[in-house]
Structure 1
Amino acid sequence: MAPVAPPPSVLDAFRAAAARAPERTALAYFDGRIGYAEADALSDSVAGHLAGRGIGRGDRVAVMLQNTPHFALAVLGAWKAGAVVVPLNPMYKSAEVGHILRDSGAVALVCEARAWVGYLREAAYGTALRTTLTASDLDFQSRNDIRVLALGQPGRPADAGSDVDDLVTVARRGHPAPPDPGLTAADTALISYTSGTSGTPKGAMNPHGALTHNALRQVTGHPIPEGARYFALAPLFHITGMVCELAACFTNAGTLVLAHRFDAGVVLDAFLEHRPDYAVGPATAFMALAAHPDVTPDHFASFRVLSSGGAPLPPALVERLRTAFGFYLRGGYGLTESTAACATVPAHREAPVDPVSGTLSVGVPGADTVVRILDEHGAELPFGETGEIVVRGPQVVPGYWGLPAETALTFPDGELRTGDVGFMDADGWLYVVDRKKDMINASGFKVWPREVEDVLYTHPAVREAAVVGVPDPYRGESVKAYVSLRPGAHAEPAELSAYCAERIAAYKYPRQVEILPVLPKTTSGKILRRELRERG
């Protein structure tokens, strides 16, 4: 892929879009519309408010919101004040929020009003927080929109507290923006806390230049015209949504279509209403959309590109979606620490499937990006051999906030040790086999859960699958599969175990299969193998 020359920050890209298309819709939220000029003025006022509270360059502003216009206005306002944004998952409980507020040293919080009253105010005790802006999910669209009433809260609390200001009120006050902070590509834009699927979240410091590099790669790598409609299928607080939706959209002077949080029926309605050009989301989201009783091929007819990220993409799902709905779902590979994608499937090409393992390629490395495969001693492996994936490039973060030892371990000499196991073929296609720590050792044989999961996904009754190792007095570990079934489908555990036994080696097939209504997931769509492993 050709090198790119991104602007210093997403804020620069947004301002350029506002200058050349001031009346174009920047944010669409159900029946509400906010143009670029209006979004620029509203976020100026938010920035002025924050500056008036003494918040400036390098200060941390936590943003804990669903996919609503408030999120974009808060992020732009914080950057205009020179602050660093700390995106928070709205699903976090009090202890999780308290940890991140304390760890990041956040001095401001933007959140939903009822969450503030319900538990966030208490979570903020003992932190550096000194100002809060609250929001209602019903802002910026008609109060008669029953889709939001079903998902959000029925209004704003009567008293959110005297120390709290309303974000919309602040945005409409017309505060002048503070002086331009002069953000550079090297300045930290985000402290993005890892999802915690394997332990305590760590704050990756994503520079402004890393965001714009990957955002511009999204724009130049896909056949999407300027002004296109980007549907926020992935949550904006996740690095995939932040980069591939918000940042890419503003870089392309597009319209960011928002629909609060993921609900398959609401999302399908929004597809018909807004006719988006692009969306990215985890494989689990596409599974849920495909399983909805009202889904038709017409729901996907407007899309030029549909991408999957944040979780493995089973080849069987790609073919199932193509057959049923007529679109090709493109995979990709990236981490919070690589500011989203570091490998993607190029436009007008399809990812190959490895003929030996059956693994679908996640793409090829992007511009100015070097991906290597290392053995357990740190030596580089040749094409086709499996080892740890390491990444070097402009999208890789410089380290973790306040964790020098972890930084040195994960980023030796600036190169990201991903903890993922994979290989590259001679044509440069990257294949991700699994997480290093998820390997199952059954009687001395290595079993990668992903390989077993891909087989399970080919069964017509299986909707979701996750494979873990469980203690076994004879083998040390044995393979156990958890699955959920497609609507209306039926399968017995023994049937699924036998299905795998016919297709993979005897030491790989799951001796135990447990069927659950749904599998536990993070809000970004990653299936929580850790939680299933603890379940036993």
Structure 2
Amino acid sequence: MNETADPHWTALYPDGVPPRTQPAAGTINDAWAHRVREAPDATAVTYFDQSLSASDVDSLTGALAVEFQQRGVGPGHAVGIYLQNIPQFALSMLAIWKAGGTALMLNPMYKGKELRNIIDDSGAVGIVCLDRERDGVTETLRGSSVGWTITTSDLDFQSEDDPRVFRSPDRLERTGEDLHSILQRRFGQVPVPPPLTGDSVALLTYTSGTTGPAKGALGTHRNVLTVATGYAQWQDLAPGDVVLAVAPLFHITGAVATAVTALIHPVNLVFINRVRPEVILESFNRHGVTHVIGSITVFNALLDLAHATAAEFATLKYIYSGGAPIPPATVATFQARFGQYIHNVYGMTETASAVIAVPPGSVAPVDPASGTLAIGVPLPNLLARVIGLDGEPVPDGEPGELELSGPQVTPGYLNKPAETAAAIPGGRLRTGDVAIMDAAGWIYLVDRMKDQINVSGYKVWPREVEDALYEHPAVLEAAVVGQPDSYSGEAVVAYVSLKAGEHTTDTELVSFAKERLAAYKYPRRLYILNDLPKTHTGKIQRRELRGLNLKD
């Protein structure tokens, strides 16, 4: 990484170099062991009505790590975790690392070919899944590299069996190959310390990245520790704080910004299984939640709860939202109703999660030209630049591609040297995101480079049109895409969903946008849908909307 002063940075950092914290040293195992030594009896994990101390978690993960090692897991071996947000996800991660292996993050909603493709590419040797998924997983992975399966129940480690969260109150019969039986059998045993370093791969997380099909991004122990320690420092995480696991743990945000960050610090990591807005709301008060990070769709869902009041948010210190852009209007509405400001945070699978964020207690500015809310400023140890097509920094206030470098950035993609070289030339990550950096160092995410719409030669960024639509009081979600047009080349087309109990028409919304946008920017067609298509992490899928051909 270039440590020399860069004039582009002097507005934010007087010497042209971002401030440095102590570089992350050692491994996640070292950080976890330190946490256990410092506060062995402090609560580390809570799942509804039951809690585990740091010492409890250490014993359980040690026992599971022994089992993994007996099954051949060590450096270079990936073990898939195919679970929802339950304690066993965190236990499995820690146990895999204690055994010396790599945790393969698997979306539990993937089925058939989706799951098999990732397993085949990763070469995973085993998988941890829910007991009710065992038969389907076994059939899907027959003949693959996976040699064994360990099952678990999402009804374990709690006794409430909340019907809003669990589909079935039945626990399947123990097989001896289930997690509960293994922990009983291995209780008290400790694994052989593996020969890991900061460069050892801790996480293998699949992403479409900046271009092309899914690729396995390698997250080293150093990558993950740098983000987890930096993000904890950034959000003032203190002993006794409570972190709610809302972001999916199979996603990099949940895995690192939520789980690893909480696990290696003396705080309580609270699980509630699948995301249910009413359960999230209850958990805030019940567990005294102080920190939460989730996608904007989660906070929209909370806004949609008619009975929700500011009282349920009283214990929260900071709310962060990542994964999808936040419209300024949504932030204002949320703060007015609940008294909580939603701080933007930005990261990618290739950066092991959070690397740019709004400082705690700060209000992100809005770019006057685009109307875009700032995603923040770089976290410690990150270099961020906005570059042009020639690879050189663009002037302040000008759009270009966001480029990132630092110990957070992945060394590359599994078995894909060409893709690695294209996306991370010289160790600098080309994000594929169009951004603006102002003279004060704030970074504004304009849009994805591939989503730009060309209307008769004029450039239109979907975000700007979406933000205008979000100003309408009836709009819950908005997505704008370009679709072929015989006259202008591409036409701006918008899709929206409405807040509960609100009513409006497509004509009214088009007129509303027309009053706020240049003539070539406002939507020529607008469709009101019950819901917008989203990824499993809550991002609206514009590509799904591009192919729609709805009749006016």
Return the TM-score normalized by structure 1: 0.96
Q: Which residue of 2 aligns with 1:526?
A: 539
Q: Which residue of 2 aligns with 1:153?
A: 168
Contact 1:392-1:416 within 8 A present in 2 as well: yes
Distance 2:479 2:211 in 1: 15
Q: Which residue of 1 aligns with 2:456?
A: 443
1:85 counterpart (103, 115, 121): 103
Structure 2 residue 527 is matched with structure 1 residue 504: no
2:336 counterpart (308, 323, 332): 323
Contact 2:209-2:350 within 8 A present in 1 as well: no
Shift of 1:78: 0.5
Q: Which residue of 2 aligns with 1:137?
A: 154
Q: 3-state SS of the aligned residue for 2:219?
A: strand
Residues 266-275 or 357-366, more deviating: 266-275
Q: How many equivalent pairs are there?
A: 530
Structure 2 residue 245 is matched with structure 1 residue 232: yes
Q: Provide, for residues 476-505 of structure 1, a one-character-per-residue CA deviation record: whole Å limited to 9, x for no partner.
A: 110111111000000101111111010011
1:526/1:198 Cα in 2 relative to 1: closer, same or farther (>3 Å)?
Answer: farther
Q: 3-state SS of the aligned residue for 1:363?
A: strand
Q: Which residue of 1 aligns with 2:266?
A: 253
1:168 counterpart (174, 180, 185): 180
Structure 2 residue 367 is matched with structure 1 residue 338: no
1:100 counterpart (100, 104, 118): 118
1:28 counterpart (36, 40, 46): 46
Residues 224-233 or 414-423, more deviating: 224-233
Q: 3-state SS of the aligned residue for 1:151?
A: coil
Letter paired with 1:153: S
Distance 2:211 2:197 in 1: 33
Contact 1:80-1:177 within 8 A present in 2 as well: no
Distance 1:434 1:67 in 2: 30
Structure 2 residue 312 is matched with structure 1 residue 299: yes
Q: 3-state SS of the aligned residue for 2:355?
A: strand
Shift of 1:146: 2.5
1:362-373 → structure 2 map (5 Å cutoff): 362-373=375-386
Q: 3-state SS of the aligned residue for 1:217?
A: helix
Shift of 1:377: 2.6
1:416-427 → structure 2 map (5 Å cutoff): 416-427=429-440
Shift of 1:158: 4.0
Residues 230-239 or 174-183, more deviating: 174-183
Shift of 1:233: 1.2
Shift of 1:66: 0.6
1:6 counterpart (10, 24, 34): 24
Distance 1:285 1:439 in 2: 26
Shift of 1:7: 4.1
Structure 2 residue 213 is matched with structure 1 residue 218: no
Residues 50-59 or 390-399, more deviating: 50-59
Structure 2 residue 139 is matched with structure 1 residue 122: yes
Letter paired with 2:84: Q
Q: Which residue of 2 aligns with 1:360?
A: 373
Distance 2:211 2:492 in 1: 19
Contact 2:161-2:169 within 8 A present in 1 as well: no
Shift of 1:469: 0.7
2:426 counterpart (382, 388, 413): 413
1:280-295 → structure 2 map (5 Å cutoff): 280-295=293-308
Contact 2:198-2:220 within 8 A present in 1 as well: yes
Residues 484-493 or 264-273, more deviating: 264-273
Contact 2:231-2:379 within 8 A present in 1 as well: no
Q: Provide, for residues 195-216 of structure 1, a one-character-per-residue CA deviation record: whole Å limited to 9, x for no partner.
A: 6897532110011111111111
Structure 2 residue 129 is matched with structure 1 residue 111: yes
What percentage of aligned pairs have identical amino acids?
45
Q: Which residue of 2 aligns with 1:38?
A: 56
Q: Provide, for residues 93-121 of structure 1, a one-character-per-residue CA deviation record: whole Å limited to 9, x for no partner.
A: 2111100000000001011111122x211
Residues 171-180 or 55-64, more deviating: 171-180
Contact 2:209-2:349 within 8 A present in 1 as well: no
Letter paired with 2:93: V
Contact 1:223-1:304 within 8 A present in 2 as well: no
Shift of 1:122: 1.4
Q: Which residue of 1 aligns with 2:446?
A: 433
Q: Provide, for residues 289-337 of structure 1, a one-character-per-residue CA deviation record: whole Å limited to 9, x for no partner.
A: 1111221111111100100001111111110011011011100111111
Q: 3-state SS of the aligned residue for 1:428?
A: coil
Q: Provide, for residues 21-41 of structure 1, a one-character-per-residue CA deviation record: whole Å limited to 9, x for no partner.
A: 111111101111111111111
Contact 2:284-2:316 within 8 A present in 1 as well: no
1:183-222 → structure 2 map (5 Å cutoff): 183-194=196-207, 200-222=213-235
Distance 2:535 2:115 in 1: 15
Contact 1:195-1:522 within 8 A present in 2 as well: no
Q: 3-state SS of the aligned residue for 1:389?
A: strand
Return the TM-score normalized by structure 2: 0.93
Q: 3-state SS of the aligned residue for 2:56?
A: helix
Distance 2:142 2:455 in 1: 48
Q: Provide, for residues 129-168 of structure 1, a one-character-per-residue CA deviation record: whole Å limited to 9, x for no partner.
A: 01111111100111x43346x43433233487xxx71012
Structure 2 residue 282 is matched with structure 1 residue 269: yes
Q: Provide, for residues 417-436 of structure 1, a one-character-per-residue CA deviation record: whole Å limited to 9, x for no partner.
A: 00000110011111110000
Shift of 1:2: 4.3
Contact 2:81-2:129 within 8 A present in 1 as well: yes
Letter paired with 1:61: V
Shift of 1:416: 0.2
Structure 2: which 5+ residue stretches go unaligned? 1-18
Distance 1:301 1:451 in 2: 33
Q: 3-state SS of the aligned residue for 1:172?
A: helix
1:66 counterpart (50, 59, 84): 84
Shift of 1:224: 3.0
Distance 2:303 2:22 in 1: 35
Letter paired with 1:92: Y
Distance 2:381 2:52 in 1: 36
Contact 2:199-2:221 within 8 A present in 1 as well: yes
Contact 2:328-2:372 within 8 A present in 1 as well: yes
Shift of 1:17: 1.4
Shift of 1:259: 0.4
Contact 2:203-2:219 within 8 A present in 1 as well: yes
Structure 2 residue 69 is matched with structure 1 residue 51: yes
